[in-house]
C-alpha cells in the first residue's frame, strides 16, 4: 500500500497511512488516553481517536472486573467475585444462555483451569496490538506476579465506566 502510494503520488505516505490506521492502531502516543467502557461494554481509548481494544466476551468480562477494582486481586481470589462476574457478563453478552454464562465463569474461577491465565494473556495481546508503544501499553493491561495481586496500572481518573457497572 505504501509503495503504491509513493509510486502513484510521489509524496510522503505518512498522512495517508495515519488516516488509514486511524481508530485501529496507535503508533506513537505522547500521553496516556482515557479508557471508556461504553454501554455495549466495548473498550475504547477516547484520546486515541476512539480506538477500540477488541477482545472476546470472556476477556472483556475479566477486563471490566479489573477496571472496577483498582486495588486488584490475586488470581485465586477471582472466585470471590462470581456474582459480580455474572452481572457484568449479562451486559457484555446480553442474551447468553445461563449455561454459557455458568461455564465461562466456572472456567475463570477454577484454580485448576488455565482459562484465567489465557484470558489475561489475550488481553495483553489485544492491548499491545492496538497500542504499539510497549511502555504506554503496559498501563492498560492486567499484570502482576504469580501468587501476588494482579491489577491494571492506569489511574482510575482515566477510566470511565457506565453506571450499569458502578451501581
Element (H, E) at 142: strand 142-144
SS3 47: coil
| Whole-number pLDDT of residue 114 | 93
In this prediction, residues 56-69 reach a mean pLDDT of: 96
Pairing of β 149-152 and β 159-160: unpaired
Q: What's the whole-number average pLDDT of the chain?
A: 88
> Region 23-41: what's the mean pLDDT?
79
H or E segment and range at residue 165: helix 163-166
| Higher pLDDT among residues 29 and 159, named by residue | 159
Q: With a cut of 80, say whether residue 57 has pLDDT above it.
A: yes
Q: For residue range 10-21, what is the model confidence (pLDDT) as tens digits?
A: 777 667 666 666
Q: What is the DSSP string of 10-50?
A: -S-SHHHHHHHHTTT-B-S-SSPPPEEE-TT--EEETTTTT
Lowest mean pLDDT among 5-9, 78-82, 134-138, 141-145: 5-9
Q: Please indicate whether residue 111 or residue 104 has the higher confidence score (pLDDT).
A: 104
Q: Which residue has the cell 477494582?
A: 69
pLDDT at 157 over 90: yes
User: What pLDDT, on the 0 to 100 scale, is given for residue 40?
Assistant: 87
pTM: 0.84
The β-bridge partners of 53 are 43
Amino acid at each position: 500500500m505504501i509503495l503504491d502510494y509513493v509510486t502513484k503520488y510521489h509524496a510522503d505516505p505518512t498522512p495517508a497511512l495515519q488516516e488509514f490506521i486511524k481508530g485501529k492502531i496507535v503508533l506513537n502516543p505522547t500521553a496516556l488516553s482515557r479508557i471508556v467502557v461504553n454501554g455495549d461494554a466495548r473498550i475504547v481509548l477516547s484520546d486515541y481517536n476512539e480506538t477500540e481494544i477488541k477482545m472476546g466476551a470472556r476477556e472483556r468480562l475479566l477486563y471490566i472486573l479489573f477496571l472496577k477494582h483498582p486495588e486488584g486481586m490475586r488470581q485465586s481470589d477471582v472466585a470471590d467475585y462470581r456474582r459480580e462476574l455474572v452481572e457484568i457478563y449479562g451486559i457484555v453478552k446480553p442474551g447468553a444462555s445461563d449455561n454459557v454464562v455458568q461455564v465461562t465463569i466456572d472456567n475463570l474461577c477454577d484454580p485448576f483451569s488455565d482459562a484465567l491465565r489465557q484470558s489475561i494473556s489475550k488481553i495483553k495481546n489485544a492491548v499491545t496490538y492496538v497500542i504499539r508503544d510497549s511502555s504506554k501499553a503496559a498501563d492498560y493491561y492486567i499484570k502482576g506476579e504469580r501468587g501476588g495481586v494482579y491489577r491494571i496500572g492506569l489511574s482510575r481518573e482515566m477510566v470511565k465506566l457506565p453506571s450499569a457497572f458502578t451501581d
